[in-house]
Structure 1
Amino acid sequence: MADTLSPEVALRIGLAARALPDTDPKRLMMVLVDAVGLPITPTKLGRLKVTRLKAAADGELGDIDTDYLKKAVSLLKGIGVPVDEAPQPLPEVQAYAEGDMPGSIRVACASNHETRVDGHFGSCARFLIYQVSDSEVRLIDIRKAGHAPDEMDKNIFRAGLIDDCQLLYTVSIGGPAAAKVVRAGLHPIKLPNGGEATELLDDLKGVIGNNPPPWLAKVMGVGAEERIRFIQDEEEYA
């Protein structure tokens, strides 16, 4: 069974088992196979809920305190996994020139692993930069977050790394940091459960091409008159 696991998934399971009382990786694997099925993948783990983990394998972990289970599920999702311990294969970046994707917007995704949105704005290892239109999602850049100079505010530094984007997808961002991101011209969107970036952006692609809400229309650069039309359309079909 172990040979069905990628190194990243094996690491997550090992750390999650360590976070649970009286649980080794073998015991946790048995529960996960029942909870998500084989093969166990980052995408499947990203959808895992505490209630499902607690009920799986006839309640094998049902007696464990919910706080421990929440911590384990976060680790299984890749949230809180030490970046320097995790395998870091870089996804392939696609060529892009301004004007290639008419009507598109640029999205920064806070990430620690591969192509997942699984990072906090203030501590993620990198930002994945996607160009998104109503028909395409294209990874156009990967920007290492790094460390701000000693004399510079960390959040302002990070916002500056992505200030050519219109949206920020992140697992978490604090209020003061969000204010600095907004001042840099981005609209932050919190996704506490994270997920595979391309899957999340596929949802955005559909919204872009299907009567976007006024806030997104503004981000896309749609004029005020057109945004009023979107509001009227929403009211008509509400």
Structure 2
Amino acid sequence: MKVAFATTDGINVDEHFGRAGMFAIYEVTRDGYQFVEIRKFAEGRDTAVEETRAQGQIHEDMVQKKVDRLADCKIIYLTEIGAPSAARLAKKGIMPVKVKEVVTIEDSLKNLVDTLRTSPPPWLRKEMDDG
């Protein structure tokens, strides 16, 4: 399954979903993980999403484009996400995972693989069995 990480540097999970200018994408299995690609939405922070917050449908369309480009991922690690964006991800079958503090992508991947091997929650076990 593909997993995305909201990141500013490709090393750490350190960005809000809406502001994230890029996401690091990895393929994850019970046996390990492999880097797939960086998906860029902007150079640096995605300020266009921030700047359109008060513009109703324009903002909603920009957020939806981001969600659509990440639709092949089953999990997205991030530092923060607004409720409407989280609902959009859930509607696509994507689980947002908020980290409490900045962590490395590598540590997050190792923890995820360990969880997959030992005691995945039912929704994650289903994703692995279906994928």
**Into which bin does the TM-score normalised by the smaller protein fall?**
0.7 to 0.9
Give the distance between the partners of 2:12 and 2:106, measured in 1 at CA: 8
Give the distance between the partners of 2:122 and 2:32, measured in 1 at CA: 21
Q: Name the residue aligned to 1:190.
A: 98
Give the distance between the partners of 1:152 and 1:170, measured in 2 at CA: 19
Residue 176 of structure 1 and its aligned partner are, at CA, apart by: 0.6
Q: Name the residue aligned to 1:201.
A: 109
Normalising by structure 1, report the TM-score.
0.46
Between Structure 1 and Structure 2, the one with more helix by share is 1
Give the distance between the partners of 1:132 and 1:124, measured in 2 at CA: 21
Q: 1:208 and 1:151, CA in 2 relative to 1: closer, same or farther beyond 3 A?
A: closer
1:111–1:127 Cα contact (<8 Å) kept? yes
Report matched runs for 1:1-238 at 5 Å.
Answer: 105-146=1-42, 150=58, 153-222=61-130
Structure 1, residues 19-42: CA drift from partner, whole Å, max 9, x if none?
xxxxxxxxxxxxxxxxxxxxxxxx
* Percent identity over paired residues: 31
CA RMSD of aligned residues (A): 1.8
1:156–1:181 Cα contact (<8 Å) kept? no
Q: 1:151 and 1:120, CA in 2 relative to 1: closer, same or farther beyond 3 A?
A: closer
Give the distance between the partners of 2:92 and 2:4, measured in 1 at CA: 13
2:10–2:24 Cα contact (<8 Å) kept? no
Residue 153 of structure 1 and its aligned partner are, at CA, apart by: 1.6
Larger Rg: 1
Residue 151 of structure 1 and its aligned partner are, at CA, apart by: 8.0
Residue 219 of structure 1 and its aligned partner are, at CA, apart by: 2.5
2:29–2:128 Cα contact (<8 Å) kept? no
Aligned to 1:220, the other structure's residue is in SS state helix
Paired residue type of 2:65: F
Residue 220 of structure 1 and its aligned partner are, at CA, apart by: 2.1
Aligned to 1:166, the other structure's residue is in SS state strand
Q: 1:119 and 1:151, CA in 2 relative to 1: closer, same or farther beyond 3 A?
A: closer
Paired residue type of 1:130: Y
Paired residue type of 2:116: I
Q: How many residues align?
A: 117
Gaps of 5+ in 2: 43-47, 50-57
Aligned to 1:168, the other structure's residue is in SS state strand
Normalising by structure 2, report the TM-score.
0.81
